């Protein structure tokens, strides 16, 4: 599982950037495009190194960290290692051992020898990354080509995946998020049953099935419609915050409000990480007419904004 997550995070960083430019570079060879991004990543990493040590420019560790992070987001393993070192030693950024461990693990996975040595001391990979490694919302394609992923699935799972992708837009849900939730919940198994009596593709507990008018939770289409209706509700309730909506889907919206954010349950935190890694976007459009937003979470946002402005 850890190796899968490392592979996903390390390669999805540059993959997101390439996909965002796909409409512009359709005629270009994929290898040439990847090489161009790698060249830009190296340029940024070299610039960061100069600012980190004051070589030919003013010494500015904070600016170096910004440049390293952008280079790392484009897939440069040396930048991942350098940024990890900065987080491990509070150089230009606040110390954060979890960020350092993830960055070292990503760099090591991509073959950086220095990072491989550091991984021995930083502990298990957690998946925690600084905000700058999440791609800006504007770089993520609205239209996600799901066909290639679905084509690699077995026949039964293909049928469920295509049904999910077809139904999702009717509920204002992007297919990528819908598929992420269904894969995390049941791996697209329409007759899945959990020890907590969660059922079907979207793993609806009886109370949620009743709440969203699901008559037969083990019938794939009925189950998916109920799960999408719940996800639409959660996105509206948490104002498009995918991490909170995913946490609510896993642990219930009450738990999110109680803990004023993603609950500290290990299962829920790993679940949210998996969803965010798959969708590669922290925000999602939502229909504000579905439900009024959570007063608790909205209040926290307002307070945080006022604090930043003061």
Regarding pTM above 0.85, the answer is no
Cα dihedral 176→179→180→182 (10° resolution): 160
User: Distance (Å, rounded) from C-alpha 203 to C-alpha 200?
Assistant: 5
Question: What average pLDDT does range 176-201 have in this prediction?
Answer: 94
Identity of the highest mean pLDDT range in 31-45, 161-175, 269-283: 161-175
Question: What average pLDDT does range 212-235 have in this prediction?
Answer: 97
More confident residue, 23 or 203: 203
Are 211 and 232 a contacting pair, CB within 8 Å?
no
In degrees, rounded to 5, the angle at the alpha carbon of residue 206 between the alpha carbons of residues 205 and 212 is: 90
- Label residues 73-103 b or e (16+ Cβ within 10 Å = b): bbbbbbbbbbbbbbbbeebbbeebebbbbbb
Per CATH, the homologous superfamily of domain 2-133 is Tetratricopeptide repeat domain (1.25.40.10)
Do 142-307 and 2-133 fall under one CATH topology?
Answer: no
Is 185 assigned a catalytic role? yes
Q: What are phi and psi of 154, to 5 degrees?
A: -70, 165
Q: Is 204 helix (H, G, I), strand (E, B) or coil?
A: strand
Catalytic annotation, pick one of 70, 185, 253, 257: 185
Domain-by-domain residue ranges, the chain? Answer: 2-133, 142-307
Are 182 and 224 a contacting pair, CB within 8 Å?
yes
| Assigned fold of 142-307 | Lysozyme (1.10.530)
Question: What average pLDDT does range 81-105 have in this prediction?
Answer: 89
């Amino acid at each position: 599982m850890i190796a899968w997550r490392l592979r996903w995070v390390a390669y999805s960083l540059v993959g997101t950037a390439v996909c965002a430019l796909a409409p512009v570079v359709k005629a270009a060879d994929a290898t040439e495009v990847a090489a161009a991004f790698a060249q830009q990543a190296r340029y940024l990493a070299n610039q960061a190194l100069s600012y980190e040590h004051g070589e030919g420019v003013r010494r500015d560790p904070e600016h170096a960290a910004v440049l390293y992070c952008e280079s790392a987001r484009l897939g440069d393993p040396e930048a991942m290692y350098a940024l990890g070192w900065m987080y491990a030693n509070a150089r230009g950024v606040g110390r954060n051992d979890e960020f350092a461990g993830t960055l070292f693990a990503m760099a090591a996975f991509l073959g950086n020898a220095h990072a491989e040595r550091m991984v021995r001391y930083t502990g298990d990979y957690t998946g925690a990354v600084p905000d700058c490694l999440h791609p800006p919302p504007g770089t993520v394609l609205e239209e996600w080509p799901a066909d290639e992923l679905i084509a690699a699935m077995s026949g039964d799972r293909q049928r469920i995946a295509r049904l999910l992708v077809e139904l999702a837009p009717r509920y204002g849900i992007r297919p990528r998020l819908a598929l992420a939730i269904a894969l995390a919940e049941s791996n697209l198994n329409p007759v899945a049953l959990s020890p907590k009596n969660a059922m079907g593709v979207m793993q609806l507990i009886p109370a949620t099935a009743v709440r969203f008018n699901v008559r037969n939770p083990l019938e794939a289409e009925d189950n998916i419609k109920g799960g999408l209706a719940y996800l639409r509700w959660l996105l509206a309730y948490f104002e498009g915050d995918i991490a909170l909506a995913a946490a609510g889907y896993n642990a219930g919206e009450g738990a999110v409000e109680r803990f004023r954010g993603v609950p500290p349950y290990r299962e829920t935190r790993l679940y949210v990480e998996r969803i965010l890694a798959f969708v590669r976007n922290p925000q999602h459009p939502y229909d504000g007419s579905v439900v009024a937003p959570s007063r608790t979470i909205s209040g926290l946002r307002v307070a945080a904004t006022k604090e930043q402005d003061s």
